[in-house]
Amino acid sequence: MPGEVREVVWSAFKMEQAIYKPGFPSPLQWTVRAESEPRRRNLFCPGTVFDAVVEKVRIAGAGLAGLTAAYVLSKANRPVEVYEKKSRLLPSSGPHTEGIRNYRERDVLEELNSFGFDLPPFSTVLATIRVSPRARNVIRGPAHYLFMRGREDHTVDQILFRRAQAAGARFHFDEEIDPADADIAATGPPRDGYNILGAGYSISEAGSDLPRDTAYALFDNEVAPGGYFAITPGIGFHSMYSVSWSELDFDRLLARTEKAFDLPWIREIVGSGKRVGRILGRAYVAPDPISGAVRDGTLLVGEAGGFQDAVAGFGFRYSVITGSLAARSLMEGSDYRALLRDTFGLEFQQASAMREKMNHATNDDYDRMIGALGPEISLKEYMKRREARGF
């Protein structure tokens, strides 16, 4: 038909997310007349075979989840527009180190690779030292992989951004959009709905004593109520901060964090290292993120959807996987929630149940929890014990 532009309107995919049931014709098999009409008012002509030009995918937010979705889509030659309300790319919590836990049978890097994330970590933690007021245990083995987040060229944020851009994704900084107008909402923890807080400092690598293969977690309610104080090595600076599920005020949590810096063993690690920045971040975990993962046809990814680790606040893996699955769902026209269910199974329920217990843990409980592992344990043995307790 001369002059007629044939294309699939992206809202068809969104509609499929909302209404498609097996046995009914999928909107993906509908050819759509776009002509000059705006995206949301296109006409659908059911019954014609899919042979279309694909419309742009709009992503709100250029955090880890949005960047992953943009990278996966653009690599597959899908047109992508990413809108980021900040004027430049930077994780909401400022530059810091992030660890991905490697506590499953399948290596987590291999798992992330299967979702299109192939960045190498800058280091592998081989000694994870967990400390409570009266106990200490070392997990020996590759328990965490480390990545830098921030504005430097070597950080995950900048590498993914450059790759997505090189593959054709277009970024619009200083542009806030309504997540409901996006195909993928990757807007991070809701401003007023967060339920985990992180607060602490980055400490210069120079002068401090923290090998790149060693990380610490201190379990002490005085320092990190219902959470833990993390020490992770970095490139140029290390990250030292408290994560809490019950102290949700930055100033009060920072004041608690100071108590950690008074402990002799932490003073030794810091040495003459200097505080070079503050780490202040919010996070949001939903008890059942999968059921709320599609809102009015928009796919929620990362912390916008509450995809977080309820036990440790480790959202990196979830941001990458949900960003990638949302991209796949749009490309294949498959059901996003079904993909999530297949991938995560009962993970979120198990983590929530564990979090319930952790919320009531006293320092004595932490002593028992860590003391029970003995002074040293292999990662393999630790994983066996985790499996036995359900998470």
Ligand X SMILES: Cc1cc2nc3c(=O)[nH]c(=O)nc-3n(C[C@H](O)[C@H](O)[C@H](O)COP(=O)(O)OP(=O)(O)OC[C@H]3O[C@@H](n4cnc5c(N)ncnc54)[C@H](O)[C@@H]3O)c2cc1C
Binding site residues, ligand X, CB under 6 A: 60-66, 83-86, 91-93, 96, 98-100, 176-177, 179, 186-188, 198, 241, 279, 281, 283, 302-304, 308, 313-317, 319
* Closer of 279 and 370 to ligand X (Cβ): 279
What is the Rg, in whole angstroms, of the alpha carbon atoms belonging to the chain? 22
**Cβ(293)–Cβ(300) below 8 Å:** yes
**Cβ(350)–Cβ(96) below 8 Å:** no
Q: How far is the CB of 160 from ligand X (least distance, A)?
A: 11
Q: How far is the CB of 384 from ligand X (least distance, A)?
A: 23
* Closer of 168 and 190 to ligand X (Cβ): 190
Q: How far is the CB of 3 from ligand X (least distance, A)?
A: 35
Place of tokens 């993906």: 28
* Closer of 9 and 240 to ligand X (Cβ): 240
Phi, psi for 43 (deg, rounded to 5)? -95, 135
* Closer of 20 and 122 to ligand X (Cβ): 122
What single string gives the DSSP state of each residue in 340-368? HHHHHTTHHHHHHHHHHHHHT--HHHHHH
Please name every residue paired with 378 in a beta bridge, in sequence order, or none if there are none: 140
CA dist 162 to 182, 233, 348, Å? 22, 25, 32
Q: How far is the CB of 175 from ligand X (least distance, A)?
A: 7
**Cβ(32)–Cβ(291) below 8 Å:** no
Q: How far is the CB of 387 from ligand X (least distance, A)?
A: 20
**Rounded Cα–Cα distance for residues 139 and 374 (Å):** 10
**Sequence-distant (≥ 6) Cβ neighbours of residue 351 within 8 angstroms:** 309, 310, 311, 391
**Rounded Cα–Cα distance for residues 25 and 21 (Å):** 8
* Closer of 179 and 297 to ligand X (Cβ): 179
**Rounded Cα–Cα distance for residues 98 and 318 (Å):** 13
Q: How far is the CB of 385 from ligand X (least distance, A)?
A: 21
Cα dihedral value 150, 156, 161, 167, nearest 10 = 170
CA dist 78 to 10, 68, 315, 327, 337, Å? 12, 13, 26, 10, 21
CA dist 49 to 7, 26, 33, 40, 43, Å? 11, 11, 13, 21, 15
* Closer of 61 and 141 to ligand X (Cβ): 61
* Closer of 85 and 140 to ligand X (Cβ): 85
Q: How far is the CB of 144 from ligand X (least distance, A)?
A: 8
Q: How far is the CB of 75 from ligand X (least distance, A)?
A: 18
* Closer of 186 and 325 to ligand X (Cβ): 186
Q: How far is the CB of 23 from ligand X (least distance, A)?
A: 35
* Closer of 28 and 129 to ligand X (Cβ): 129
Under the phi-then-psi rule, with left for phi > 0, alpha for psi from -120 to 50, and beta for the rest, what region is 327?
A: alpha
**Cβ(36)–Cβ(293) below 8 Å:** no
